[in-house]
């Protein structure tokens, strides 16, 4: 329990301001995640880094991920396309081909050699794409034919362009996308991953089906919240049957408004999904906080996560601009089981150690988040130098 938090009365004197010992820090306490014994609760977020040339994972990714791997830590690999039509970012990885499966294997091994647990986030961008990414230059597919607002980087990463108008999937085509996810999950296990996380957040294909601003369908996949969640639940069922529910997680952001995907009743959407997921007994649900950020400041949090926590019976992960103190508080309060860190973990490969010592953090460089350099802004962030007395 960290300094500044309120301990229980019988622990007050023992815990007051003692933050050096790992056992006193909620984020650094062990947790049983299904069949995986975690030694701490600091999780690496799935972060798109745009360094998989030709959409094939590269050897430098083994350095990047193993730098952030610790004994009993959980890492979630970057969003990885389930099919060629699922692409929308330059140099983002895939998991549909044999070449990609083989390329992932040494990366996974490097993480396992450090004693960490490694999940792969599987992904389809839907309408958040451009014809230049798509097979034969076809229109991106989506829940809708409404174009996403904004612009994206083209495949070579320099020019920017408007998102291409999408084509709404025909009802009979949806089963094929479910199959793509199932095969991607199978391939992830063949590559050695411990499990998969379905990317159901941030305005991508699954989220396009969820949100009533991006789902104007009149078939069984549109209209009511039950229908809008049907696609995601079919994916959960198919992937769970393929690899086992105890190796499946899902990321959800019902409160977000990324690339125009916003819902008029996000709490209802989140609660419905949380309750339905209980039927499948999946390993975890990973929710993105409703709080929004302006620059570096975090706005006051809405109440949204707490009802979802109460509704979902499994392990809960939360993400959304957490630091050390509010991460500890999220664990202590019972709001979540694990806390997911993105930018801070990107810039601090030894983030759990820095939290243990309450050390200063490296500042992340936003300019290199999505650049293709295999070292700069990727594997060159410094580790803490801990001086040991002679």
| CA dihedral (18, 72, 31, 249) positive or negative | positive
Q: What is the pLDDT of residues 309-364, one digit of tens each?
A: 999 999 999 999 999 999 999 999 999 999 999 999 999 999 999 999 999 999 99
Predicted pLDDT at 385: 84
Over residues 23-35, the mean pLDDT reads 94
Is the whole-model pTM more than 0.85? yes
Determine the Cα angle at 30 with ends 275 and 333, to 5°.
Answer: 55
Residues of the chain above pLDDT 90, percent: 87
Which pLDDT band holds residue 386 (cuts at 50, 70, 90)?
Answer: low
CB 163 within 8 A of CB 220: no
Predicted pLDDT at 294: 32
Predicted pLDDT at 24: 85
Which pLDDT band holds residue 388 (cuts at 50, 70, 90)?
Answer: low
Catalytic residues: 204
Q: What is the pLDDT of residues 180-211, one digit of tens each?
A: 999 999 999 999 999 999 999 999 999 999 99
Predicted pLDDT at 291: 76
Predicted pLDDT at 23: 56
- Residue 4 confidence (pLDDT) above 60: no
CB 200 within 8 A of CB 232: yes
- Residue 219 confidence (pLDDT) above 50: yes
- Residue 1 confidence (pLDDT) above 60: no
- Residue 75 confidence (pLDDT) above 50: yes
Predicted pLDDT at 18: 34
Q: What is the pLDDT of residues 124-181, one digit of tens each?
A: 999 999 999 999 999 999 999 999 999 999 998 778 999 999 999 999 999 999 999 9
Strand partners, 167: 141
**Mean pLDDT for the chain?**
91
**What domains are defined for the chain?**
26-357 (3.20.20.70)
SS3 of the chain: CCCCCCCCHHHHHHHCCCCCCHHHCHHHCCEEECCEEECCCEEECCCCCCCCHHHCCCHHHHHHHHHCCCCCCEEEEEEEECCHHHCCCCCCCECCCHHHHHHHHHHHHHHHHCCCEEEEEEECCCCCCCHHHCHHHCCCEECCCCCCCCEEECCCCCCEEECCCCEECCHHHHHHHHHHHHHHHHHHHHCCCCEEEEEECCCCHHHHHHCCCCCCCCCCCCCCHHHHCHHHHHHHHHHHHHHCHHHEEEEECCCCCHHHCCCCCHHHHHHHHHHHHCCCCCCEEEEECCCCEECCEECCCCCCHHHHHHHCCCEEEEECCCCHHHHHHHHHCCCCCEEEECHHHHHCCCHHHHHHHCCCCCCCCHHHCCCCCCCCCCCCCCCCCCCCCC
Higher pLDDT, 185 or 297: 185
């Amino acid at each position: 329990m960290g300094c500044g938090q309120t301990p229980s009365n019988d622990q007050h004197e023992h815990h007051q301001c003692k933050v050096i010992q790992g056992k006193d820090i909620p984020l650094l306490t062990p947790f049983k995640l299904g069949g995986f014994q975690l030694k701490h609760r600091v999780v690496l977020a799935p972060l798109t880094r745009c360094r998989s040339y030709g959409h094939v994972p590269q050897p430098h990714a083994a350095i990047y991920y193993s730098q952030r791997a610790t004994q009993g830590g959980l890492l979630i690999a970057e969003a990885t396309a389930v099919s060629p039509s699922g692409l929308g970012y330059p140099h983002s990885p895939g998991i549909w081909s044999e070449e990609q499966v083989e390329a992932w294997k040494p990366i996974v091994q490097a993480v396992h050699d450090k004693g960490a647990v490694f999940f792969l986030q599987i992904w389809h961008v839907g309408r958040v794409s451009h014809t230049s990414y798509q097979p034969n230059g076809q229109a991106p597919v989506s829940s809708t034919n409404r174009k996403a607002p904004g612009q994206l980087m083209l495949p070579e990463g320099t020019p920017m362009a408007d998102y291409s108008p999408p084509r709404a999937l025909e009802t009979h085509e949806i089963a094929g996308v479910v199959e793509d996810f199932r095969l991607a999950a199978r391939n992830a296990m063949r590559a050695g991953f411990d499990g998969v996380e379905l990317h159901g957040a941030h305005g991508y294909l699954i989220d396009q089906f969820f949100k009533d601003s991006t789902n104007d369908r009149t078939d069984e996949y549109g209209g009511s919240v039950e229908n809008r969640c049907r696609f995601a639940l079919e994916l959960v069922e198919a992937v769970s049957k393929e690899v086992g529910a105890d190796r499946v997680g899902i990321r959800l952001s019902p409160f977000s408004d990324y690339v125009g995907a916003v819902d008029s009743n996000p709490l209802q959407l989140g609660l419905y999904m949380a309750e339905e997921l209980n039927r499948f007994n999946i390993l975890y649900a990973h929710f993105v906080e409703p709080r929004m950020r302006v620059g570096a400041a975090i706005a006051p949090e809405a109440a949204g996560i707490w009802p979802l926590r109460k509704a979902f019976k499994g392990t809960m992960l939360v993400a959304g601009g957490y630091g050390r103190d509010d991460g500890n508080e999220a664990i202590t309060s019972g709001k979540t089981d694990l806390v997911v860190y993105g930018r801070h973990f990107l810039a601090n490969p030894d983030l759990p150690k820095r939290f243990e010592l309450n050390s200063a953090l490296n500042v992340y460089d936003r300019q290199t988040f999505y650049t293709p350099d295999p070292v700069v802004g990727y594997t060159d962030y410094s580790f803490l130098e801990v001086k040991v007395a002679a």
